Chains A and B, each alone.
Chain A
Amino acid sequence: MAEPALSIRGLTKVYGNGFQALKGIDLDVAEGDFFAMLGPNGAGKSTTLGVVCSLVQKSEGKVSIFGIDIDRDFARAKYHLGVVPQEFNFNQFEKVLDIVLAQAGYYGMSHREALPRAEELLRDLGLWDKRNGSARMLSGGMKRRLMIARALMHRPKLLILDEPTAGVDIELRRSMWEYMRRINREEGTTIILTTHYLEEAESLCRNVAIINHGEIIRNTSVRDLLMELDTETFLFDLAHALDAAPDVPGFEVTQSEPAQLAVAVHRGQRLNDVFEALSRQGIQVVSMRNRANRLEEMFVSMVEQGNKALDESAAADQDKEARA
Chain B
Amino acid sequence: MSPQQIAIALWTLVVKEIKRFTRIWPQTLLPPSITMTMYFIIFGNLIGSRIGEMDGYTYMDFIVPGLIMMAVITNSYSNVASSFFSNKFQRSVEEMMVSPMPNWVILSGFVLGGMARGLGVGLIVTVVSLFFTRLSVAHPVLTVLVVVLTAALFAIGGFINALLGKKFDDISIVPTFILTPLTYLGGVFYSISLLPDFWQGVSMLNPILYMVNVFRYGFLGVSDIPVGWALAAIFAFIVVLFAVALWMLERGKGIRS
Q: Does A107 lie at the interface of the complex (its beta carbon under 8 Å from any beta carbon of B)?
A: yes
A57 and B252 form a contact (CB under 8 A): yes
Q: Which residues of A contact B13 (CB under 8 A)?
A: 102, 105-106
Most buried by B among A15, A55, A103: A55
A90 and B8 form a contact (CB under 8 A): no
- Contact (A87, B91) CB under 8 Å given A78-B98, A106-B12: yes
Interface footprint category on B:
20 to 34
- Contact (A78, B256) CB under 8 Å given A92-B90, A108-B4: no
Kindly identify which residue among B8, B23, B87 contacts A105, using a CB–CB cutoff of 8 Å.
B8
Q: Does A53 lie at the interface of the complex (its beta carbon under 8 Å from any beta carbon of B)?
A: yes
* B-to-A contact residues, CB < 8 Å: 1-2, 4-6, 8-9, 11-13, 16, 19, 23, 86-87, 90-92, 94-102, 252, 256-257
Expressed in whole angstroms, the Cα–Cα distance for A167 and B5 within the complex equals 37
- Contact (A105, B12) CB under 8 Å given A15-B257, A55-B98, A76-B100: yes
Q: Does A301 lie at the interface of the complex (its beta carbon under 8 Å from any beta carbon of B)?
A: no
Kindly identify which residue among A78, A85, A88, A101 contacts B99, using a CB–CB cutoff of 8 Å.
A78
Expressed in whole angstroms, the Cα–Cα distance for A81 and B257 within the complex equals 20
Q: Which residues of B contact A90 (CB under 8 A)?
A: 90, 92, 95
Q: Which residues of B contact A110 (CB under 8 A)?
A: 8
Kindly identify which residue among A55, A78, A105 contacts B94, using a CB–CB cutoff of 8 Å.
A55
A150 and B95 form a contact (CB under 8 A): yes
Interface footprint category on A:
20 to 34
Q: List 18 A-B contacts (CB under 8 A).
A: A53-B97, A54-B97, A55-B94, A55-B256, A78-B98, A78-B100, A81-B98, A85-B94, A87-B91, A102-B12, A103-B95, A106-B9, A106-B96, A106-B101, A107-B100, A108-B2, A108-B4, A150-B95
Q: Which residues of A contact B6 (CB under 8 A)?
A: 108
Q: Does A50 lie at the interface of the complex (its beta carbon under 8 Å from any beta carbon of B)?
A: yes
Expressed in whole angstroms, the Cα–Cα distance for A105 and B5 within the complex equals 8
Q: Which residues of B contact A56 (CB under 8 A)?
A: 256-257
A87 → chain B closest CB, angstroms: 7
A184 → chain B closest CB, angstroms: 20
A102 and B16 form a contact (CB under 8 A): yes
**Number of A-B pairs whose CB atoms are under 8 Å?**
86
Q: Does A203 lie at the interface of the complex (its beta carbon under 8 Å from any beta carbon of B)?
A: no
Q: Which residues of A contact B91 (CB under 8 A)?
A: 85, 87-89
Expressed in whole angstroms, the Cα–Cα distance for A76 and B19 within the complex equals 29
Q: Which residues of B contact A55 (CB under 8 A)?
A: 94, 97-98, 256-257
Most buried by A among B6, B87, B100: B100
Q: Does A75 lie at the interface of the complex (its beta carbon under 8 Å from any beta carbon of B)?
A: yes
B9 and A108 form a contact (CB under 8 A): yes
Expressed in whole angstroms, the Cα–Cα distance for A233 and B93 within the complex equals 47
Q: Which residues of A contact B101 (CB under 8 A)?
A: 106-107
Q: Closest chain B residue to A92 by CB distance? A: B90
Expressed in whole angstroms, the Cα–Cα distance for A53 and B242 within the complex equals 25
- Contact (A105, B9) CB under 8 Å given A56-B257, A83-B98: yes
Q: Which residues of B contact A78 (CB under 8 A)?
A: 98-100
Q: Which residues of A contact B2 (CB under 8 A)?
A: 108
Q: Which residues of A contact B99 (CB under 8 A)?
A: 78, 103, 106-107
Kindly identify which residue among B11, B19, B252 contacts A98, using a CB–CB cutoff of 8 Å.
B19
A53 and B100 form a contact (CB under 8 A): no
- Contact (A75, B102) CB under 8 Å given A98-B16, A106-B9: yes
Expressed in whole angstroms, the Cα–Cα distance for A91 and B4 within the complex equals 26
Q: Which residues of B contact A57 (CB under 8 A)?
A: 252, 256-257
Expressed in whole angstroms, the Cα–Cα distance for A93 and B82 within the complex equals 14
B139 → chain A closest CB, angstroms: 38
Q: Closest chain B residue to A77 by CB distance? A: B100
Expressed in whole angstroms, the Cα–Cα distance for A83 and B252 within the complex equals 19
Most buried by B among A103, A106, A107: A106
Contacts A88-B91, A93-B23, A105-B13 supplied; 4 other A-B pairs, CB < 8 Å: A54-B98, A55-B94, A57-B257, A87-B91
Expressed in whole angstroms, the Cα–Cα distance for A50 and B99 within the complex equals 13
Q: Closest chain B residue to A57 by CB distance? A: B256
Expressed in whole angstroms, the Cα–Cα distance for A102 and B99 within the complex equals 11
Q: Which residues of B contact A15 (CB under 8 A)?
A: 257
